[in-house]
Structure 1
Amino acid sequence: MKHFDVFNGDADGICALHQLRLTKPLRSLLITGVKRDVQLLARVPVRSGISVTVLDISLDSNRAALLALLRQGVEVEYFDHHFSGAIPEHPNLRPYIDTTPEVCTSLLVDRHVGGQHRLWAIVGAYGDNLSHAARTLAESRMLQPEQVEQLRELGESINYNAYGDTETDLLIPPAKLYEILLPYSDPFNFTANEPIAQALHDARRQDMDLAQRLPPHATLMSGAIYVLPNEPWARRVRGAFGNFLATSFPDRAYAVLSQTAQGDYTVSVRAPLANPYGAADLCMRFATGGGREAAAGIGRLPHDHLREFTIAFEEAFAGGSRARAVSAQTERPSSR
């Protein structure tokens, strides 16, 4: 039987699949892409005689494709933490879905495999900006502080690589990155032996330096909105910069927008870490929006909807207060 592994190309999706295949090796066809490629299940051919594992993409966004596969008798196991909507009841569907804010797909797989490859779960959790959950797992393995820092850096670098409008924006296609790390049960060995790990680290630092030089487009009661230019580095750093801002100011919400060649925006939203709710509801108010409670995004926000988004952002995170943009005000977190 032919098997398909369908997974988000970010750190959480890659590390979730990696744990699963280290535990249960299986030859499969890989379907993945950049972070914003969330309707991946539609790329699986609808035919009998196949099976599918899905990781880290919203069931709700892939509902039609999932139902078509189930009607064809395809067996599907589904690991995810994004908004799911109603989960279909079907004998061929095995859902492992938890949408609470302190859970990511790597943690769901860690539970599923009994913590057999927990170091990679820690990498995935750090990549998904779940620092508290990652530290808790690290404590269970009694890691030294410098080891924890290595796993954090690796998770953030793998996650950084997933952001871009197309794979041409990325340093390496996510499927290729997954294939490189596949032989490594130990992430410390991967970091020590694969040059791509250092290349991603260096590129992320360079792009973050460029982002931190920019003032916010709007400073609001609830947080701030940044608009990055139409450049590959800006598209790559969109998620990493949003996570950095959220971690630096945990009581505030952030949106990081990068401009497209057409003049529209791709949006990443981070709810305040101190109260990690509201990001998905905000983004789902706009076409192509979705995500989870703590972090969500909009695939395409028309340029003339920026003011509407700004008002909706303030309503989402400041209890309906009127947005108060102060375009010239600067909010500059210090670099870690």
Structure 2
Amino acid sequence: MSSYIDVFNGDADGICALHQLRLADPQESQLVTGIKRDISLLKNVQAGSGDKVTVLDISLDKNRDDLLRLLEAGAQVRYFDHHYAGEIPQHATLETYIDTDANVCSSLLVSHYLDDVYLAWAVTAAFGDNLYTSAEQAAIPLDLNSEQLEQLKLLGTCLNYNGYGSNLDDLIYHPDELYRLLAPYADPFAFIHEEPGYARLQDAYHTDFEQVAAITPDYADDGHALYVLPDARWARRVSGVYANQLAQQYPQRAHAMLTTRPEGGYVVSVRAPLSNKSGADELCRQFETGGGRQAAAGINHLPVQDYDAFVTAFRAAF
């Protein structure tokens, strides 16, 4: 008997992409996800002939070997993503909807695929992915007022915030649990006003964010700012959304957020200047565990001894 398997990034974009697809086509499926940085998710999937695998918001390049394994086993794979993909395999049972444009996210690709039936959720995801201009442009047909746009912006930010951490224990909700909270709500405003779990997420976000006020950059010039956050759960949770906020606040500047890992070294988040959204992925791919997209990328483990090399590369990249 064939089965459905949904594989999705544990951030706002991955969750909202899956939510749209399953609103349009409800299915009981196996959910495969993890923290935002856990993108090699296809290694956790076993599927064969007749099984339908949907992959959302994780780099094809980082999952290439396991994608080929699943295709060779006879699985049907549908792939939506906006990260660096490398060469896309040609296979009879692979459908790809991949666009690496810096102004696109996976949820916007899914929304287009679904003729924008659940566009408000795609707008939410775009806000969460720090694509404010894309979100506002996509929202025009919805005829929302400024207060409603701000509500979707906060929702997207909170959903994205929930994905950051060094492990699942750092998160407020496991991403599949957060997806299940969203699942009953076709309308994000109903979720905002009616879901008790969202109030819990908002409270955690605001509490964590208050703590970054005391953080000053380790390095800064007119075009760059680099921050080092402490080894603390709140810091790991807030690192990505803080980098996004700084990018919005200083659009001519590139930002790097280095969060101290419990095991040593740093987790790195990089944001290209919003005035020129390119280069973040190329910078991060210079380091062993790096990857991402043009405007926003990261390194899962930057050893302490590579700090100076990273600063040099960061300054040269932007």
TM-score range, shorter chain: over 0.9
State the one-letter code of the partner of 2:88: I
1:220 Cα offset (Å): 3.4
CA distance in 2, matches of 1:195, 1:165: 26
**Residue in 1 that maps onto 2:44:** 43
For 2:139, what is the secondary structure of its paired residue?
helix
1:3-62 Cα offsets, whole Å, 9 max, x none, are 110000000000011011111111110000100000001100143342200000000000
**Residue in 2 that maps onto 1:88:** 89
Per mean C-alpha deviation after superposition, the further-off stretch among 97-106 and 207-216 is: 207-216
CA distance in 1, matches of 2:141, 2:52: 34
CA distance in 2, matches of 1:5, 1:177: 14
1:221-249 Cα offsets, whole Å, 9 max, x none, are 42111000000000000100000000000
**Residue in 1 that maps onto 2:281:** 280
TM-score after normalising by structure 1: 0.93
**Residue in 2 that maps onto 1:330:** none
State the one-letter code of the partner of 2:168: E
The alignment status of 1:105 with 2:101, answered yes or no, reads no
**Residue in 2 that maps onto 1:18:** 19
The answer on whether the counterparts of 1:46 and 1:68 sit within 8 Å (CA) in structure 2 is no
1:308-331 Cα offsets, whole Å, 9 max, x none, are 1000000100xxxxxxxxxxxxxx
For 1:185, what is the secondary structure of its paired residue?
coil
1:176-220 Cα offsets, whole Å, 9 max, x none, are 010111010001111111122122222212222211311101113
**Residue in 1 that maps onto 2:252:** 251
**Identity over aligned pairs, percent:** 50
The answer on whether the counterparts of 2:50 and 2:76 sit within 8 Å (CA) in structure 1 is no
**CA RMSD, 1 decimal:** 0.9
**Residue in 2 that maps onto 1:325:** none
CA distance in 2, matches of 1:202, 1:26: 32
**Residue in 1 that maps onto 2:240:** 239
State the one-letter code of the partner of 1:127: G
1:99-137 Cα offsets, whole Å, 9 max, x none, are 000000010001000000011011110000000011112
**Residue in 1 that maps onto 2:307:** 306
CA distance in 2, matches of 1:312, 1:93: 37
State the one-letter code of the partner of 2:214: R
For 2:36, what is the secondary structure of its paired residue?
coil
1:261 Cα offset (Å): 1.1
State the one-letter code of the partner of 1:115: D
Q: Structure 2: where are the runs of 5+ without partners?
A: none
Per mean C-alpha deviation after superposition, the further-off stretch among 97-106 and 256-265 is: 256-265
TM-score after normalising by structure 2: 0.98
State the one-letter code of the partner of 2:3: K
**Residue in 2 that maps onto 1:5:** 6
Taking the TM superposition and a 5 Å limit, the aligned residue runs for 1:288-327 are 288-317=289-318
Aligned residue pair count: 317
State the one-letter code of the partner of 1:117: Y
**Residue in 2 that maps onto 1:182:** 183
State the one-letter code of the partner of 2:53: V
Per mean C-alpha deviation after superposition, the further-off stretch among 194-203 and 59-68 is: 194-203
